[in-house]
Structure 1
Amino acid sequence: MTIIVDRPTVTDPCTLVEPGLFDRLVSRIRVDHPELGEVAEPIMEQALAFLATCAANPGADLGPSEQVDVGWHTFILYTRDYAAFCQRTAGRFIHHTPDDVPSGGLGESKTGPGLAATIEAMRAAGYRVDPVVWPDSAADCTSKCHQCYSGCYASPEKAVG
């Protein structure tokens, strides 16, 4: 007896944008964040995978890692390209909603549990999760993830716009 497990095909997030745009975004990360130069490509790949996962999971409590957030911020700077990507991928604009209350000394973070959910959602969507730019455990999330609250769609306050 053979059991077939239905697993999603791994999708290359770089195919979500034109190659020239991807190269420009990676170059921009290298210029604006020279300390991240060696991981600029994985940052941008994972930012695209994250955004596509957000598009497929509206209303989910998904949030980026600190480095993936750098890729997201970089993409937002290219407003026309970013807006076109959002429309094409999500059918709507994917808003970035910052977390006004970063994680505190007690290890509490609004987005901690969301990071583990994000990683799971990305894998379920068929994207590889690169451990270079994502914390490798939920316990690690509370200390590293503090950039955005509910990362991709809208905060619980239902930000509009």
Structure 2
Amino acid sequence: MAACSSGRPSIPPPCSTGPHTDRAPDARALLGGDAYTGVVLTVLDNNPGWTREYAERIVTEALKFVHAASLFPTVPISPTEEVDEGWHALILHTRVYAALCSGLGRMVHHYPERPEAAREDPAVLTRTMALIEQAGYMADAELWTGHQRELVGVARHTPMPGGCGPINPGNCATHGGSGDD
């Protein structure tokens, strides 16, 4: 998500440092059963060899990611390569994605960028996981940190300060065009 205002964005602390419910909400509830299944099947179609259980985990994390992006529109976040597969599958289901974003209160746009070392942000995954927790969910640590519990690679790099990049909830006027992917 692009930080479209000047200055450093404020990042709330993870939920684990404050009060939270014993049971996190199920992000799958953001979509109807048929819509969720359709997105999962798209992930499977695009990734031969993945199990249905793995595809479901990826789509669920993508839903958490989009929800967090909608709640914290000025904080730069990014999905891992795996979670990005789920987000792209959501975007391909245009009516489902539009309804999801409408229900969340804002469109979360995707602005593809080519990787550039100058925009790399080593803290982006830690920040993304913290915001997913702030949204009320438990992040699937393996999809964000891998089996070794080290942060895994991001699918997109974050934008330069003040610019609009790969993720934008629709409130940044500095990026030309519609921003739809």
Output the TM-score relative to the length of structure 1. 0.79
Q: Which residue of 2 aligns with 1:147?
A: 156
Q: Which residue of 1 aligns with 2:19?
A: 6
* Unpaired stretches in structure 2, ≥5 consecutive residues: 1-17, 159-164
Q: What one-letter code is carried by the residue in structure 2 that aligns with 1:44?
A: V
Q: Distance in 1 between matches of 2:149 and 2:116?
A: 17
Q: Which residue of 1 aligns with 2:62?
A: 47
**Where is the helix percentage greater, Structure 1 or Structure 2?**
1
Q: Which residue of 2 aligns with 1:92?
A: 106
Q: Displaced runs of 4+ in structure 1, greater than 4 A?
A: 136-139
Q: Which residue of 1 aligns with 2:141?
A: 131
CA-atom RMSD in angstroms: 2.7
Q: Which residue of 2 aligns with 1:159?
A: 175
Q: What one-letter code is carried by the residue in structure 2 that aligns with 1:159?
A: H
Q: CA deviation at 1:87?
A: 1.3
Q: Which has the higher contact order (CA 8 A, sep 6+)?
A: 2
How many pairs align? 150
1:37 matched to 2:47? no
Question: Residues 138 and 147 of structure 1: is their aligned pair in 2 closer, same or farther, counting only changes over 3 Å?
Answer: farther
**Percentage of matched positions with identical amino acids:** 26
Q: Which residue of 2 aligns with 1:60?
A: 75
Output the TM-score relative to the length of structure 2. 0.71
